[in-house]
């Protein structure tokens, strides 16, 4: 008996019988259908299906009815009732009984095999089916192996069943087989086999298994994030809703095959962390805690730390005790060349030994905060060599030197000086290209020193616009394929009622509308939701039917229309049956919503269209004028997303955008500081139940929505042949996948505090290093945020333990910094939809100031703080002088006029942001009053017209003071380094250097670009060469010599112009000459015009300088309570000064510690008098060429005796002498 044929006949007869019994007695039944029934009955008789005689009788009865009818087309239904009832009684349940004996043929490489189960998953994007599970019967083991071999080849066309369109593919080398030989006297020997796809993302769920558990087990094993079992149904339903779980389809005639679930490749740690964060934030999941601790509302941060943090912190060990032995490597000599041999000073050796002991005690990353001149380079070099020897018992390892390109040669030279006495020959490798990364061996050969320039290693690749189309083509293909299958399957049905598990939930509404439009039938799509045990708890429903939506609660703002539990779902089915005619009429006669797509590029963050003119979003006609093709050039217009979002960062809902376009909802444009989204007609924040009504589109009053630009970056990396650069440390991470650097030395590590390419590269270095010492002269710029990312990159686990996520810099500032909250209410006219122009913008900004708890909690166990005074080195004097200069009346009038024009423009155009470039115009005007008219933002809107002053044959007061100072310094045999902010061809430096040369001063400018530029790595040698050539003055921008350079030949430094608010830059650049081998007094001059923005800028820097010194142990009077009264960014603070909103304090200049210059004048006059009266008297002032220098690490007994015999006198307290935090 052919089971397959019998089952087909039975199923056909049962379906026909049920159809007949469902009709009214007066209906007619087509003879064509009767002839098919006769064929099926005849088939059962021929196959010997029992009771054979009875089926023959039924065949004869139907044949008689067929022939006796007067019509050639139909018979009356009432005559078929009795045969139909008898057929049902005979056949009901027979097909199910025969099901285990059923099979289908599969064609693999033109060979047919009998399969009882074939399960496959379908990728709707590519419209391909992949076989995951087979149960089949074979005549022999050889036949089974032949089929398995073809499957392992990854055959692309495997036909399943009789339908030639049913084609699937196999996975290459992706299957395992379990088989068993059987022996039967009736049918002979055979082989039963189970063939399944062996892949961790293909999950078999047997009848006793719970699919929710199986998916959870996969997530727990493969995603590196903390989850708990109580969340498993949340993750399962979330993944199902997003279409990331595909349940396999096919046939199973055994009734014993497991369900097969295929997990998408998109399921990874990042995605699960995203879902977890979303679930916790929305309250969909929660953490189970055994005990809730209630915190007092008025508890201070100190009390919280004292009660809940400090008790769990272990007591730190002292890493060096006085008298402990020093490592022989640390105390070994240093070969300076030319026969000079020295060693670290005792305090320097102790510093290095303390670092070595800390690393032994489990502190792999330490910080050495030392002022310029303490010998950080050689201390860290010795420490690195000692640690390598401690690790391996020999000098065989890999050391990385990470510094600015300008200092690579200096570091290589001084590191080699530390190695020579130990007879080490390190191999230096410049890690500045992908080729050099490729050449690196897995293990070092001897001592390898990687020279990593932070300027080159940070470079990355080309970028392209990272936008996507609003409607992904793959998503549209999914909808189309799904629609075509559903339409074909429900062609004869009155209702389209489909389980849409294969379709992501966010596409179901679009698919539903398309299906209803094409079929004109009621359409319902649903997804099952399971609990932790795998039981169905609810169904998420999508339908275009307004009748159903009005009957059941609708979630307009969700991706589905409503959700029903199992009981409600049964009632839902009954409701459809009872109201079928109403639903059919609705679908047939409704005007279907347009389902074509206005496609275009959208922001990857907010999902909004990218506009050339962002105002088009709210225009009733122009809202479709958004860009549809990616831009090739990275222009400022499309650098960031200009789509409008709500003030709290969330996207505008469709009804809100529509309401704004139609004028029903007002809108106000605010900046990033505004956080309040909805305002009522009186400009009061909408809260509570009214806020819920607004979001649900139920609010009946007038309200305003505050919107701002999304400002998400729109560009990302592109893989393209041709010129490109790579981040070398990113490449080493990809190549070695482990900590391949034994010891890393990071110079000036405070410069990696920002979220920049350099900061990212520094994080990569920390991640790949076993041990690291971080060197800095100024670890902080005066704010808590300047340390947050540095600490997070160094100690992420520690920061997490203290409760900080990487994105929570704000919380860190709340705990260790200072904030200021201001609320602005403006009523002036602005461009907005409402025309009222009201704008309430409370803003919270960080102020300068750092809590000492930051050191206690985060730095005390890892930072060594050292100053020149701590090291007891013979340092030259360091003095600061200020040159407060009055402007000439002509320049003062021009300055006051320009200042008033800027103030007037700001008052008249308060809604227009003014950038720092306008401040630079005012700052630089007194130094060069010959500027062009100033326009706003490269438009034709005039901001100010500076008065042009003819300077021919004129020397300005500030220039004259510079000339006098340089001449005085030259008379003492001293050279001067002049810092200028506005350099280059169009800057002030061009005029100043010409004036100096006209006065007989041999001066030159060091440039970073243009004609005569000096490369970064050549600057130190260039300065030394110019000194040898007799140049008395060098002009340059302080950024070019900010770090690392020892400019001994120029002991006087003159700030003709100050950097705008950059304390780190200023503190680093002002001490380039202050070294132990400096024989002359170091003098720092600050020049500015009084009663100008230049004076305010200097006060601003002074205030920040005091705050940054606080963390390193230098306090002025009442500094802890007053530090950082002026904390804004340089530009913003000066804008406030300009508007008269704040006044800089005179005592802010105390941060510089200025000396009285009259003492200096008296010394010069005294020297001149002696020279006039005694021509044969030789002064103690030596020229540069005859000067003898004491080496940084060499001092004789005679010199020590001389130092000790000097008369002790009371001195002013210098930087670092009052130290709160030094080790």
- Residue 1021 neighbours by CB distance under 10 Å: 12
Confidence of residue 359 (pLDDT cuts 50, 70, 90): very high
Are 176 and 236 a contacting pair, CB within 8 Å? no
Angle 908-910-911 (CA atoms, 0-180°, nearest 5)?
125
Give the closest residue to 300 by CA, choosing from 788, 853, 949.
853
DSSP, residue by residue, 545-576: -HHHHHHS---TTSSSSEEE-HHHHHHHHHHH
Give the closest residue to 774 by CA, choosing from 481, 1094, 401, 495.
401
**Most confidently modeled range among 31-35, 787-791, 1174-1178:** 787-791
Give the closest residue to 670 by CA, choosing from 683, 656, 655, 658.
683
Longest dimension (CA), the chain: 154
Q: How many CA atoms lie within 13 A of 812 on its CB side?
A: 22
Kindly tell me if the per-residue pLDDT of 387 is higher than 90: yes
Token pair 């469902």 in the structure block, residue: 22
CA separation for the pair 696, 664 (Å, rounded): 15
Are 137 and 114 a contacting pair, CB within 8 Å? yes
254 burial via Cβ count (<10 Å: 0-12, 13-18, 19+): middle
Token pair 């991470």 in the structure block, residue: 733
Local structure of 203: helix, strand or coil: strand
Kindly tell me if the per-residue pLDDT of 966 is higher than 90: yes
Confidence of residue 1052 (pLDDT cuts 50, 70, 90): very high
Kindly tell me if the per-residue pLDDT of 998 is higher than 60: yes
**Mean pLDDT score, 1097-1123:** 54
Confidence of residue 1065 (pLDDT cuts 50, 70, 90): confident
Percent above pLDDT 70 for the chain: 80
Kindly tell me if the per-residue pLDDT of 719 is higher than 80: no
Are 216 and 229 a contacting pair, CB within 8 Å? yes
User: Which numeric CATH code is attached to 469-589?
Assistant: 3.10.310
Token pair 């709707």 in the structure block, residue: 124
- Residue 1103 neighbours by CB distance under 10 Å: 27
**Mean pLDDT score, 604-624:** 86
625-668 confidence digits (pLDDT tens): 888 888 877 666 788 898 999 999 899 998 999 889 888 898 88
DSSP, residue by residue, 1057-1110: S--SS-HHHHHHHTTSS--TT--S-EEEEEEEETTSHHHHHHHHHHHHHHHHHH
CA separation for the pair 347, 354 (Å, rounded): 10
Kindly tell me if the per-residue pLDDT of 1209 is higher than 60: no
β-pairing, 334-337 with 340-342?
Answer: antiparallel
Boundaries of every domain in the chain: 3-100, 103-199, 201-281, 334-461+725-820+849-859, 469-589, 601-716, 876-885+952-1161, 889-944
Buried b (16+ CB within 10 A) or exposed e, 22-60: eeeeeeebebeebeebbebbebbbeeebeeeeebeebbe
Kindly tell me if the per-residue pLDDT of 1083 is higher than 60: yes
Q: What CATH class has 876-885+952-1161?
A: alpha beta
User: Phi and psi (nearest 5°) for 178?
Assistant: -115, 125
* Mean pLDDT over each residue of the chain, to the nearest integer: 80
**The pLDDT value given to residue 743:** 96
Name the β-bridge partners of 601. 469
Give the pair of three-digit tokens for residue 48. Answer: 């010997």
- Residue 516 neighbours by CB distance under 10 Å: 23
Token pair 């706003």 in the structure block, residue: 936
Confidence of residue 753 (pLDDT cuts 50, 70, 90): confident
Sign of torsion over alpha carbons 799, 805, 809, 815: negative
- Higher pLDDT, residue 1064 or 467: 467
**Mean pLDDT score, 823-840:** 47
- Higher pLDDT, residue 66 or 269: 269
859-901 confidence digits (pLDDT tens): 888 888 887 667 777 778 889 999 999 999 999 999 999 999 9
**Mean pLDDT score, 1122-1130:** 42
Are 143 and 165 a contacting pair, CB within 8 Å? no
**The pLDDT value given to residue 920:** 82
- Higher pLDDT, residue 965 or 1015: 965
Percent above pLDDT 90 for the chain: 26
446-484 confidence digits (pLDDT tens): 999 999 988 776 666 667 788 888 777 778 888 888 888
**Mean pLDDT score, 382-397:** 93
Kindly tell me if the per-residue pLDDT of 64 is higher than 70: yes
Confidence of residue 322 (pLDDT cuts 50, 70, 90): low
Query: In this structure, what DSSP letter does residue 734 have?
Result: H
**Mean pLDDT score, 1009-1027:** 86
Confidence of residue 941 (pLDDT cuts 50, 70, 90): confident
Kindly tell me if the per-residue pLDDT of 1109 is higher than 70: no
Name the β-bridge partners of 403. 453
Give the pair of three-digit tokens for residue 87. Answer: 């057929």
Query: In this structure, what DSSP letter does residue 984 have?
Result: S
Give the pair of three-digit tokens for residue 716. Answer: 């990302």
Name the β-bridge partners of 341. 335
**The pLDDT value given to residue 422:** 93
Query: In this structure, what DSSP letter does residue 1128 have?
Result: S
* Alpha-carbon distances, residue 962 vs 935, 969, 993, 1067, 1156 (angstroms): 32, 11, 11, 21, 17
Sign of torsion over alpha carbons 579, 584, 585, 590: positive
Kindly tell me if the per-residue pLDDT of 1072 is higher than 70: yes
CA separation for the pair 991, 962 (Å, rounded): 13
* Those residues with Cβ within 8 angstroms of residue 659's Cβ, 6 or more apart along the chain or in another chain: 665
Strands (E), 173-225: 175-182, 190-197, 202-205
Confidence of residue 1177 (pLDDT cuts 50, 70, 90): very low
**The pLDDT value given to residue 1184:** 38
- Higher pLDDT, residue 402 or 1155: 402
Are 501 and 124 a contacting pair, CB within 8 Å? no
Rg, the chain, Cα only: 41
Kindly tell me if the per-residue pLDDT of 256 is higher than 60: yes
Q: How many CA atoms lie within 13 A of 533 on its CB side?
A: 3
Kindly tell me if the per-residue pLDDT of 10 is higher than 50: yes
CA separation for the pair 1198, 1200 (Å, rounded): 5
68-81 confidence digits (pLDDT tens): 776 767 777 777 78
Are 390 and 360 a contacting pair, CB within 8 Å? yes
220 burial via Cβ count (<10 Å: 0-12, 13-18, 19+): middle
Helical residues (DSSP H) of 309-419, grouped into ranges: 346-360, 376-392, 408-419
User: Phi and psi (nearest 5°) for 880?
Assistant: -115, 140
CA separation for the pair 703, 682 (Å, rounded): 9
Name the β-bridge partners of 370. 866
H/E stretch holding 274 reads helix 269-282
Confidence of residue 1216 (pLDDT cuts 50, 70, 90): very low
Domain 334-461+725-820+849-859 has CATH 3.40.30.10: no
Kindly tell me if the per-residue pLDDT of 1172 is higher than 50: no
Domains 334-461+725-820+849-859 and 876-885+952-1161 agree in fold = yes
Sign of torsion over alpha carbons 65, 71, 73, 74: negative
**The pLDDT value given to residue 9:** 79
**Mean pLDDT score, 751-761:** 83
**Mean pLDDT score, 496-500:** 91
**Most confidently modeled range among 841-855, 926-940, 1108-1122:** 926-940
**The pLDDT value given to residue 1106:** 64
CA separation for the pair 1072, 1055 (Å, rounded): 13
Give the pair of three-digit tokens for residue 326. Answer: 């020093």
186-203 confidence digits (pLDDT tens): 545 688 999 999 898 999
CA separation for the pair 447, 425 (Å, rounded): 7
Kindly tell me if the per-residue pLDDT of 99 is higher than 70: no
Local structure of 879: helix, strand or coil: strand
CA separation for the pair 474, 264 (Å, rounded): 15
Lowest mean pLDDT across 541-550, 776-785, 1034-1043: 776-785
Give the closest residue to 44 by CA, choosing from 20, 13, 75, 79.
13
- Higher pLDDT, residue 614 or 25: 614
- Higher pLDDT, residue 740 or 1183: 740
Sign of torsion over alpha carbons 57, 63, 67, 69: positive
Kindly tell me if the per-residue pLDDT of 831 is higher than 70: no
Give the pair of three-digit tokens for residue 1015. Answer: 């490369």
Are 453 and 472 a contacting pair, CB within 8 Å? no
**The pLDDT value given to residue 1008:** 84
**The pLDDT value given to residue 1071:** 80
**The pLDDT value given to residue 29:** 77
**The pLDDT value given to residue 546:** 87
H/E stretch holding 657 reads helix 654-661
CA separation for the pair 754, 781 (Å, rounded): 12
Kindly tell me if the per-residue pLDDT of 689 is higher than 60: yes
- Higher pLDDT, residue 1019 or 867: 1019
CA separation for the pair 519, 498 (Å, rounded): 14
């Amino acid at each position: 008996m052919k089971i397959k044929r019998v089952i087909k006949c039975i199923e056909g007869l049962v379906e026909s019988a049920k159809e007949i019994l469902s009709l009214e007695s007066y209906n007619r039944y087509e003879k064509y259908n009767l002839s098919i029934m006769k064929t099926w009955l005849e088939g059962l008789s021929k196959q010997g299906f029992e009771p054979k005689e009875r089926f023959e009788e039924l065949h004869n009865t139907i044949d008689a009815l067929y022939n006796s009818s007067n019509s050639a087309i139909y018979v009356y239904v009432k005559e078929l009732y009795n045969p139909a009832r008898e057929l049902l009684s005979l056949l009901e349940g027979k097909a199910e009984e025969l099901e285990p004996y059923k099979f289908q043929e599969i064609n693999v490489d033109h060979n047919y095999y009998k399969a009882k189960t074939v399960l496959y998953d379908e990728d709707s994007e590519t419209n391909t089916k992949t076989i995951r599970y087979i149960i089949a019967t074979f005549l022999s083991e050889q036949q089974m192996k032949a089929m398995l071999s073809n499957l392992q080849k990854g055959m692309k066309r495997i036909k399943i069943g009789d339908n030639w369109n049913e084609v699937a593919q196999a996975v290459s080398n992706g299957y395992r087989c379990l088989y068993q030989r059987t022996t039967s006297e009736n049918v002979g020997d055979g082989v039963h086999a189970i063939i399944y796809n062996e892949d961790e993302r293909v999950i078999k769920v047997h009848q006793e298994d719970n699919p929710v558990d199986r998916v959870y087990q996969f997530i727990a094993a493969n995603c590196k994030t903390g989850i708990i079992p109580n969340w498993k149904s949340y993750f399962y339903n979330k993944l199902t809703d997003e279409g990331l779980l595909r349940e396999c389809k096919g046939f199973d005639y055994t009734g014993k095959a497991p369900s097969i679930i295929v997990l998408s490749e998109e399921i990874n740690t990042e995605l699960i962390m995203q879902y977890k964060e979303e679930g916790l934030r929305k309250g969909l999941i929660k953490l189970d805690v055994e005990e809730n601790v209630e915190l007092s509302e008025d508890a201070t941060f100190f009390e919280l730390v004292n009660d809940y943090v400090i008790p769990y912190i272990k007591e730190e060990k002292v890493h060096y005790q006085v008298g402990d032995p020093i490592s022989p490597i640390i105390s070994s000599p240093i070969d300076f060349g030319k026969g000079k041999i020295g060693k670290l000073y005792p305090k320097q050796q102790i510093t290095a030994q303390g670092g070595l002991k800390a690393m032994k005690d489990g502190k792999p990353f330490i910080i050495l905060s030392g002022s310029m001149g303490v010998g950080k380079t050689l201390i860290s070099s010795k420490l690195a060599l000692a640690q390598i020897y401690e690790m391996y018992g020999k000098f065989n390892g890999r050391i990385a030197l990470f510094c600015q390109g300008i200092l690579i040669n200096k570091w290589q030279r001084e590191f080699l000086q530390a190695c020579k006495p130990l007879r080490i020959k390190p191999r230096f490798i410049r890690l500045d290209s992908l080729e050099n990364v490729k050449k690196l061996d897995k293990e070092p050969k001897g001592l390898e020193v990687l020279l990593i320039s932070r300027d080159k290693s940070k470079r990355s690749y080309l970028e392209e616009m990272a936008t996507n189309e609003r409607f992904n083509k793959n998503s549209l293909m999914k909808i189309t394929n799904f629609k075509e299958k559903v339409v074909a399957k429900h062609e004869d049905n009155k209702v389209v009622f489909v389980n849409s598990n294969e379709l992501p939930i966010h596409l179901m509404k679009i698919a539903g509308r398309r299906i209803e439009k094409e079929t004109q039938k009621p359409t319902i799509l649903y997804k099952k939701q399971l609990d932790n045990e795998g039981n169905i708890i609810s169904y998420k429903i999508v339908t275009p039917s307004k009748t159903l939506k009005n009957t059941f609660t609708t979630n307009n703002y969700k991706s589905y229309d409503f959700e029903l539990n199992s009981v409600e779902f049964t009632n839902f089915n009954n409701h459809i049956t009872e109201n079928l005619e109403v639903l059919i009429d609705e679908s047939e006669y409704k005007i279907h919503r347009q389902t074509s797509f206005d496609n275009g590029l959208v922001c990857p963050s907010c999902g909004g269209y990218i506009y050339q003119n962002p105002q088009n979003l709210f225009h009733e006609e122009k809202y479709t004028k958004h860009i549809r093709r990616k831009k090739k050039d990275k222009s400022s217009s499309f650098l960031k997303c200009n789509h409008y979002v709500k003030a709290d960062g969330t996207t505008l809902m469709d009804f809100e955008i529509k309401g704004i376009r139609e004028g029903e909802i007002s809108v106000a444009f605010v900046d990033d500081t505004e956080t309040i989204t909805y305002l009522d007609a009186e400009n009061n924040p909408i809260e509570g139940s009214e806020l819920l009504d607004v979001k649900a589109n139920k609010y009946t009053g007038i309200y305003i929505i505050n919107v701002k630009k999304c400002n998400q970056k729109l560009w990302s990396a592109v893989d393209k042949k041709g010129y490109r650069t790579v981040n070398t440390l990113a490449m080493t991470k990809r190549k070695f996948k482990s900590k391949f650097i034994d010891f890393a030395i990071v110079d000036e590590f405070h410069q990696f505090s920002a979220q920049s390419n350099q900061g990212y590269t520094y994080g990569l270095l920390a991640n790949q290093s076993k041990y690291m010492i971080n060197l800095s002269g100024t670890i902080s710029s005066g704010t808590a945020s300047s340390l947050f990312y540095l600490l997070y990159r160094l100690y992420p686990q520690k920061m997490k333990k203290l409760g900080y996520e990487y994105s929570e810099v704000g919380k860190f500032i709340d705990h260790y910094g200072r904030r200021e909250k201001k609320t602005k209410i403006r009523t002036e006219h602005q461009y907005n939809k409402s025309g009222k122009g009201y704008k309430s913008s409370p803003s919270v900004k960080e102020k300068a100031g750092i809590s000492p708890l930051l050191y206690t909690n985060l730095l005390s166990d890892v930072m060594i703080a050292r100053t020149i005074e701590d090291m007891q080195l013979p340092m030259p004097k360091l003095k600061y002088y200020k040159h407060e200069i009055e402007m000439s009346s002509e320049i003062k009038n021009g300055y006051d006029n320009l200042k008033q024009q800027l103030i007037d423009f700001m008052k008249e155009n308060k809604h227009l942001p003014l950038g720092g470039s306008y401040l630079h115009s005012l700052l630089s005007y007194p130094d060069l009053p010959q500027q062009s008219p100033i326009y706003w933002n490269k438009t034709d809107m005039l901001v100010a017209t500076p008065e042009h002053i003819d300077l021919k044959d004129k020397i300005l007061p500030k220039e004259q003071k510079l000339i006098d100072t340089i001449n005085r310094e030259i008379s003492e045999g001293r050279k001067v380094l002049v810092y200028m902010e506005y350099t280059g061809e169009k800057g002030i430096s061009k005029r100043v250097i010409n004036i100096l040369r006209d006065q007989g001063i041999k001066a030159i400018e060091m440039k970073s670009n243009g004609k005569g530029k000096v490369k970064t790595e050549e600057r130190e040698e260039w300065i030394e060469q110019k000194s040898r050539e007799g140049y008395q003055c060098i002009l340059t921008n302080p950024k070019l010599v900010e770090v690392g350079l020892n400019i001994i030949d120029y002991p006087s430094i003159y700030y003709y112009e100050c950097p705008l608010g950059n304390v780190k830059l200023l503190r680093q650049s002002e001490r380039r000459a202050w070294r132990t081998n400096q024989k002359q007094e170091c003098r720092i001059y600050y020049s500015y015009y009084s009663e100008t923005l230049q004076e305010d800028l200097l006060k601003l820097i002074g205030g920040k300088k005091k705050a940054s010194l606080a963390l390193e142990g230098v306090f002025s009077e009442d500094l802890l309570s007053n530090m950082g009264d002026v904390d804004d960014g340089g530009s913003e603070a000066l804008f406030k000064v300009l508007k008269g909103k704040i006044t800089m304090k005179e005592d802010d200049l105390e941060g510089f510690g200025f000396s009285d210059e009259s003492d200096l004048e008296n010394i010069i006059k005294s020297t001149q008098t002696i020279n006039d009266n005694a021509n044969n008297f030789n002064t103690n002032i030596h020229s540069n060429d005859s000067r003898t220098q004491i080496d940084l690490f060499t001092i004789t007994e005679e010199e020590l005796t001389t130092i000790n015999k000097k008369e002790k006198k009371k001195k002013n307290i210098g930087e670092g002498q009052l130290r709160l935090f030094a080790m």
